[in-house]
């Protein structure tokens, strides 16, 4: 995956090297060296206490134990993962020995908490340590996580969680479950205020799955990563079904089938790098604008603009890859997809326009002609809400024949779940820019960022079609009697239908009516698309949020 940052590459520590130590451990090391020689009053050094040296030794032993235990499974230790997440040398741990028993030989609890820098910006993290009691959560772990989240909310910085846990600590009973409740509540408090990203790097089962489920994004890996409410043994006991952990709740299942995961990493390093990249597009909190990056236009932009004219076929039934359009519009052709393997008739993700991060939403004609179904509706709605929460403009590229028909869609709740797209766009207050690439029919035209639903700037390509129905479908309804009469008289029904469809396209389906009504602001050539979007974003840069009515909150379809 290509990172958005155009800065020097970060030097990553090699896996297996000593972890960055907390201030307490560092002080213990210095003190241990001082104790090895006679006290030197000129340096002002104090000899280390035995307990402090013992703590430092326990910390080293704990990491060696973790490396041996995790390495055998092909997994990184919690501290090695932190090395991958943060800019080199920037992690500052808090509560290193909280929940431990130094005298009894316990270095600490089963979670590491602290702060570090990602591309120079502060981020809070808690990393569960599977090498300590299976990473289970008890009183001490819950207290550390809640304290970290309180600090993150107060400091207004993103929260990243590295999940690798056996769940609630059974030995502590209800006390452990209570801590999950506290974490749920704080996650909801932070929702929409600071970005929250969860990386599932091991097991996550039972009630624990709802900690990441409440966050903005879930990242999983192809191996070792599992999420399920009830495990294979419980499923077999309750239903008789025999199923493996990966088949039940592995990364592939949640990335492609359930839609729980937003990204499937090749390995832990790839998953963590994706989290870093996403954070580079988002502000630290909802009160700040998104970060901006230096950008200089060049020949590549001109070449991309020329390519746009040839990407979309003139035949409205011929598929094409909308990703080619996206990459020809955004800076450097860099596009970071979200939920790439799920609901593939829609494409969503992050990009930059002239150095400013934006969210991209597009229909994908390669899959079901780009129609909206229950899954793609939720995918689009969730992403638009994320962008609106954190001040990213939404660019919508439309090419859809409508909602996917069928009893399976109706029974799956296309009315309820399709309405989520409407709610997301209608309530969004970030700049909204929409471009109709080829066709936009029926209700899908309205919900995909139309001007009537709240978009600020709307454009259409000259060959685009906007109507209640496509020409052939409309002719079959409007001219049903004429076609039946032609059939009875032995005339060429297909030829008549084709002629009527052509007439309908010329008079009704083209975008002229929308242009005349003001629903489309301008007809633009494909090569002008990037410039039109960039100009619109500059115009809308001063757009501010307004509260239309006094209410607690809306009751969106769920």
What pLDDT was estimated at residue 537?
Answer: 98
pTM of the model: 0.88
What pLDDT was estimated at residue 363?
Answer: 98
Average pLDDT over residues 10-16: 41
What pLDDT was estimated at residue 46?
Answer: 61
Residue 58 phi, psi dihedral angles, 5° rounding: -60, -40
% of the chain with per-residue pLDDT over 90: 68
Q: Does position 393 have pLDDT exceeding 80, yes or no?
A: yes
Average pLDDT over residues 506-534: 85
Per-residue tokens: 383 = 């992403």
* Strand, helix or coil for residue 2: coil
Average pLDDT over residues 442-460: 94
Per-residue tokens: 395 = 């660019």
Residue ranges of E strands in 158-205: 159-163, 196-200, 203-205
What pLDDT was estimated at residue 478?
Answer: 78
Per-residue tokens: 12 = 């990553």
**At 497, is the pLDDT very low, low, confident or very high (cuts 50, 70, 90)?**
confident
Q: Does position 54 have pLDDT exceeding 70, yes or no?
A: no
Q: Does position 260 have pLDDT exceeding 90, yes or no?
A: yes
Q: Which residues contact 318 (CB under 8 A, 6 or more apart)?
A: none
| Ranges 197-201, 305-309, 468-472, most confident | 197-201
Q: Who wins on pLDDT, 56 or 558? A: 558
Per-residue tokens: 240 = 């008789």
Task: Name the burial class of residue 549, with classes exposed (0-12), middle (13-18) and buried (19+) by CB atoms within 10 angstroms of its CB.
Answer: exposed
What pLDDT was estimated at residue 470?
Answer: 67
Helix residue ranges, H only, 312-465: 322-329, 374-389, 407-411, 414-427, 442-447
- 263-306 pLDDT, tens digit per residue, is 999 999 999 999 999 999 999 999 999 999 999 888 889 999 99
What pLDDT was estimated at residue 11?
Answer: 38
Domains, in order of start, for the chain: 53-281 (3.90.226.10), 299-469+509-540 (3.90.226.10), 471-508 (no CATH)
| Ranges 184-188, 305-309, 493-497, most confident | 184-188
**At 150, is the pLDDT very low, low, confident or very high (cuts 50, 70, 90)?**
very high
Q: Does position 527 have pLDDT exceeding 70, yes or no?
A: yes
How far apart are the C-alpha atoms of 450 and 155, rounded to whole Å? 38
**At 40, is the pLDDT very low, low, confident or very high (cuts 50, 70, 90)?**
low
What pLDDT was estimated at residue 93?
Answer: 96
- 320-372 pLDDT, tens digit per residue, is 999 999 999 999 999 999 999 999 999 999 999 999 999 999 999 999 999 99
Distance set, CA 160 to CA 40, 127, 309, 386, 532 (Å): 44, 8, 42, 16, 36
Mean pLDDT of the residues in the chain:
88
**At 181, is the pLDDT very low, low, confident or very high (cuts 50, 70, 90)?**
very high
Q: Who wins on pLDDT, 495 or 267? A: 267
Q: Does position 36 have pLDDT exceeding 60, yes or no?
A: no
**At 149, is the pLDDT very low, low, confident or very high (cuts 50, 70, 90)?**
very high
Which DSSP symbol is given to 528? G
What pLDDT was estimated at residue 47?
Answer: 60
Task: Name the burial class of residue 124, with classes exposed (0-12), middle (13-18) and buried (19+) by CB atoms within 10 angstroms of its CB.
Answer: buried
Q: Which residues contact 490 (CB under 8 A, 6 or more apart)?
A: none
Q: Who wins on pLDDT, 507 or 294? A: 294
DSSP-assigned letters across all residues of 144-170: HHHHHHHHHHHHT--EEEEE----B-G
Average pLDDT over residues 453-472: 86
Q: Does position 8 have pLDDT exceeding 50, yes or no?
A: no
- 97-119 pLDDT, tens digit per residue, is 888 777 776 777 899 999 999 99
% of the chain with per-residue pLDDT over 70: 87
Average pLDDT over residues 219-245: 94
Contact 402, 440 (CB under 8 A): no
What pLDDT was estimated at residue 20?
Answer: 39
Q: Who wins on pLDDT, 536 or 11? A: 536
How far apart are the C-alpha atoms of 49 and 24, rounded to whole Å? 12
Contact 411, 301 (CB under 8 A): no
């Amino acid at each position: 995956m290509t990172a958005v940052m155009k800065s020097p590459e970060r030097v990553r520590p090699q896996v297996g090297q000593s972890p960055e130590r907390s201030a307490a451990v560092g002080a213990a090391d210095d003190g241990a060296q001082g104790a090895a020689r006679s006290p030197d009053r000129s340096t002002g050094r104090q000899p280390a206490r035995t307990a402090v040296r013992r703590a430092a030794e326990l910390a080293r032993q704990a990491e060696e134990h973790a490396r041996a235990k995790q390495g055998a499974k092909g997994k990184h230790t919690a501290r090695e993962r932190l090395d991958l997440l943060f800019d080199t040398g920037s992690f500052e741990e808090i509560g290193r020995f909280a929940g431990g028993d130094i005298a009894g030989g316990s270095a600490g609890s089963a979670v590491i908490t602290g702060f570090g820098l990602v591309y120079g910006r502060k981020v809070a993290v808690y990393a569960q340590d599977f090498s300590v009691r299976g990473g289970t959560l008890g009183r001490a772990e819950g207290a550390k996580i809640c304290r970290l989240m309180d600090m993150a909310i107060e400091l207004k910085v993103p929260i990243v969680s590295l999940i690798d846990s056996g769940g609630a600590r059974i030995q502590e009973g209800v006390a452990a479950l209570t801590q999950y409740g506290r974490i749920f509540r704080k996650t909801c408090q932070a929702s929409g205020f600071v970005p929250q990203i969860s990386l599932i790097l091991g097991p996550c089962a039972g009630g624990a799955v709802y900690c990441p489920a409440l966050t903005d994004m879930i990242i999983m890996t192809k191996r070792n990563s599992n999420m399920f409410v009830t495990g294979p043994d419980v499923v077999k006991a309750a239903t008789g079904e025999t199923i493996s952990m990966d088949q039940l709740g592995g990364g592939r299942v949640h990335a492609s089938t359930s839609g729980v995961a937003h990204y499937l990493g090749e390995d832990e390093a790839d998953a963590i790098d994706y989290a870093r990249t996403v954070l580079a597009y988002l502000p630290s909190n909802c009160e700040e604008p998104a970060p901006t990056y230096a950008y200089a236009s060049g020949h590549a932009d001109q070449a991309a603009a020329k390519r746009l004219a040839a990407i979309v076929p003139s035949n409205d039934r011929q598929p094409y890859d909308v990703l080619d359009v996206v990459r020809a519009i955004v800076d450097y052709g860099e596009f970071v997809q979200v939920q790439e393997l799920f609901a593939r008739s829609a494409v969503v993700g992050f990009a930059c326009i002239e150095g400013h991060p934006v969210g991209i939403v597009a229909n994908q004609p390669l899959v079901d002609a780009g129609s909206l179904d229950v899954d793609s509706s939720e995918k689009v709605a969730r992403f638009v809400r994320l962008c609106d929460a954190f001040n990213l403009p939404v660019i919508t590229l439309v090419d859809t024949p409508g909602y996917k028909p069928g009893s399976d869609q109706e029974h799956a709740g296309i009315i309820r779940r399709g309405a989520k797209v409407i709610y997301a766009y209608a309530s969004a207050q970030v700049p909204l820019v929409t471009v109709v690439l080829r066709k936009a029919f029926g209700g899908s035209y309205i919900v995909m960022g139309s001007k009537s639903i709240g978009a600020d700037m709307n454009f259409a390509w000259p060959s685009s079609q906007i109507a209640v129905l496509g020409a052939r479908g409309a002719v079959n309804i409007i001219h049903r009697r004429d076609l039946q009469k032609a059939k009875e008289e032995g005339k060429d029904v297909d030829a008549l239908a084709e002629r009527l469809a052509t007439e309908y396209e010329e008079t009704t389906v083209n975008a002229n009516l929308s242009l005349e009504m003001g629903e489309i602001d301008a007809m633009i050539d494909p090569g002008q698309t990037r410039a039109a979007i960039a100009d619109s974003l500059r115009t809308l840069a001063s757009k501010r949020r307004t509260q239309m009515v006094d209410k607690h909150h809306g009751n969106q379809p769920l």
